[in-house]
Amino acid sequence: MSEPAISETILARLQSLPIFRTLSAEQTAAIAALMSHRKAQTGETLVAEGENGDEMFILLRGQVRITKRTLDDERYVVAERDEHDTPCFGELALLDEDRRSATIEVTQESELLVLRRAQFERFGLEQPGAGLLVTRELARRVCGYLRRSNRDTLLLFEALVNEVRSRNAG
């Protein structure tokens, strides 16, 4: 495939993602120019839970597994993602400098685009309107995560209350 075809493919891929969908073709090309291309081998760890990170990844080809550790330090699988199923991950690292909440390991040889926080901040300074559009979409994602977390917390609390009530009644 020639370089222009790759660029067109990457631009189309970016424009298909919710966080870039509202950008114009020129804005998408500008942010794509800031991204680096990365190949990752099976077994490679892209993100380690608890470490600081500043990269967002877009899976162009391949597959990754997202895992977390329990309080007993046992690992469990949260999700598996491929280029068709939510290919964007690590996006919160563009907004803050907190530790990674999960580990992401490559389960099938992969190609990724990588955007670092410093590059995203530069994009926002150079194109504030476009930066606002992407930041707004990232904020929507954070709100969705928070709503799901609130629902999960409420369900766990209700289950705990029901367990305590049933033990006290018996």
Please report, for the chain, the start and end positions of each structural domain, with discontinuous segments joined by +: 3-169
- Residue 146: pLDDT band (50, 70, 90) is confident
As a whole number of angstroms, the distance between CA 9 and CA 16 comes to 11
pTM of the model: 0.81
- Residue 5: pLDDT band (50, 70, 90) is very low
Instruction: List pLDDT tens digits, range 16-42.
Output: 999 999 999 999 999 999 999 999 999
As a whole number of angstroms, the distance between CA 51 and CA 79 comes to 19
- Ranking 36-40, 42-46, 63-67, 157-161 by mean pLDDT, the lowest is 157-161
Relative to beta strand 103-116, strand 88-89 is unpaired
Q: What is the pLDDT of residue 4?
A: 45
Query: Which of helix, strand or coil describes residue 57?
Result: strand
Q: What is the pLDDT of residue 24?
A: 94
As a whole number of angstroms, the distance between CA 81 and CA 67 comes to 11
38, 61 contact by CB (below 8 A):
no
How far is CA 103 from each of CA 26, 37, 64, rounded to the nearest angstrom?
34, 20, 10
User: Quick one: which of 79, 106, 101 has its CA closest to 90?
Assistant: 101
Fold adopted by 3-169:
Jelly Rolls (2.60.120)
Question: How would you class 74 by CB atoms within 10 Å of its CB: exposed for 0-12, middle for 13-18, buried for 19 or more?
Answer: exposed
In 51-92, beta strands by DSSP E: 55-69, 75-82, 88-89
67, 78 contact by CB (below 8 A):
yes
- Residue 87: pLDDT band (50, 70, 90) is confident
| Structure token pair of residue 130 | 């476009």
